[in-house]
Amino acid sequence: MSEVHVYGPAYLDRVLRIDRPLHTAGQQPVDRSADGSLEPGPGLALLDDAGTLLRIDLPQDWPGPFGVVRVRGITLDRQTAGNGPIPSIGWHDDLGGMGAGYASALCGTLVCALGPETDSLSGDVLRMLKISGIDARPIQISGKEADWTLLISSGPHGDKLAAGFRGCHAALKPGDLWIDDDRPPRLTVVAGLPNPLSSFVLRDANAPTIRVFAPAMRNMVDRACPLADFAGSIDILACNRLEWESLAESGSLPGLIPVVIVTDGPEGAQAIVRAESGEVESIRLPAFPRTHPPRDTNRAGEAFASSFVRKLLAEGWTPGPVPLNLLRGAMLRASAAAALVLDRERFGFPDTFEVERAVALGRVD
């Protein structure tokens, strides 16, 4: 059995690449995901809660979806939307889901949900998992199809806008999530599952496992089962800046969670830790130097967090204070891993050799 257990979604990403930014000049790149719903019709457009409609010119071989995709909780840029349809430059299907990402980057065993054998979408996801070499233990949910995401990416402009269509993972129950293993793993990762499920897995994880929680935005704004209620069951929290700032209890969490890492795209990353002195320390690191624009920003957060955790594991860290030299070394390697993954337009992560080579060079060429 793997020494790493990952609980989280695996699904199909239908990636639509566009030739210009989703943001206007002077704004930060768009890096958001939200639940989506589709109103079938001609063409393709995104519609936010405020009524802003963003139209996209489709490639000739585009297989769908067609119609208006409503994205909840996202505000589209009115100026971008008002400049006419955005031209697209291609599309492809890829493996998606934070569970699949962490399982791949950390060589872990993945517990995810898929539909029954008759669901063709679930079959596609299962084949992608096998091609990627991921040891998957799918839970089959009767009467549901696999999740999938429409992902709009502007590559060199740094935008990533994902509209998720939820199927089988929304039907998971806490009792579904377990791995039959006599030996507890060194690392348990819960990524992108709703808070009630995440809380169940993290609280049930037995020592000496290190418990990592990688939330989505919906986890941070959940008021029925707030993250603060199970923060004591988290050893490492990995999120992005927007997610962190949306968390009402963020000010009190550094005292409860030994390590919080917050990624901030081109602005770099921050680590908030309980140091050996007992005080809460905060360290910021700029983005790792690159000599060329990114090709795709998808999976950068997973690459950062996975490399960070891998370094802590390699140095024998156990939950508690973090030596500052170890923290700086882990953040540097995590930053390099995130910079490297920006050159991958398909699912995959840099290995330790690639990361160490970039660190030694001091940049990604």
pLDDT value at residue 96: 96
CA distance 277 to 131: 46
- Asked whether the bond before 208 is cis by omega within 30 degrees of 0, the reply is yes
pLDDT value at residue 279: 84
DSSP letter assigned to residue 345: S
DSSP letter assigned to residue 215: -
**Which one, of 63, 50, 29, lies nearest residue 161 by Cα?**
29
pLDDT value at residue 1: 47
Q: How far apart are the first and last CA of the chain?
A: 37
Q: Write phi, then psi, for 239 (nearest 5 degrees).
A: -150, 175
Cβ-in-10-Å burial (0-12, 13-18, 19+) of 35 comes to middle
Note the Cα 230 to chain centre separation in Å. Answer: 20
pLDDT value at residue 28: 81
Q: Is 97 left (phi over 0), alpha (psi -120 to 50) or beta?
A: left
Low-confidence ranges of the chain (pLDDT < 70): 1, 180-181
CA distance 132 to 108: 12
**Which one, of 56, 44, 42, 47, lies nearest residue 89 by Cα?**
56
pLDDT value at residue 276: 77
> What is the C-alpha R_g of the chain?
20
Q: What DSSP line would sit under 186-203, residue for residue?
A: SEEEEES--HHHHHHHHH
CA distance 288 to 285: 8
pLDDT value at residue 252: 76
pLDDT value at residue 285: 96
Polymer length of the chain? 365
Instruction: Give pTM, 2 decimals.
Output: 0.94
